[in-house]
Amino acid sequence: MSARWFRVCRRDELKDGSARSITILGKPYAVFSISGDVFGLDAACRHMRANLAAGKIQGNFVTCFMHDWKYDIRSGKCLTMEGADAPTRETKIENGDVYISVEWPEDF
């Protein structure tokens, strides 16, 4: 498995305290802006797969809109259910665009 970068949105479209989502090979990913930094997570909530980008963002945390599972956006740690952490993804800003790094199958 290798990794590829995918453009999610323009940096100026991602306001602080907000998120954007992208679906790649059927899997949702999200980027979040917190205090000027951008973080990436697998967007499917570990409970029943609701998109965390649609959750409520408060400080460094996002709360899933479905049943209120809470995650630390910086680490993906789930504060509601031990071991149900959301995998983190690298992000980068290039030419004013936000990119997320996604695992990519070698044979695709």
Q: Does 66 bind ligand FES (CB under 6 A)?
A: yes
Give the Cα separation of 74 and 64 in Å (integer): 15
Distances (CA, A) of 46 to 10, 77, 90, 100, 106: 27, 11, 19, 20, 26
Q: Binder to ligand FES among 45, 62, 73, 78 (CB under 6 A)?
A: 45
Site for ligand FES contains 47 (CB under 6 A): yes
> What is the nearest approach in angstroms of ligand FES to the Cβ of residue 10?
28
- The site for ligand FES (CB under 6 A) is made up of 45, 47-48, 50, 64, 66-69
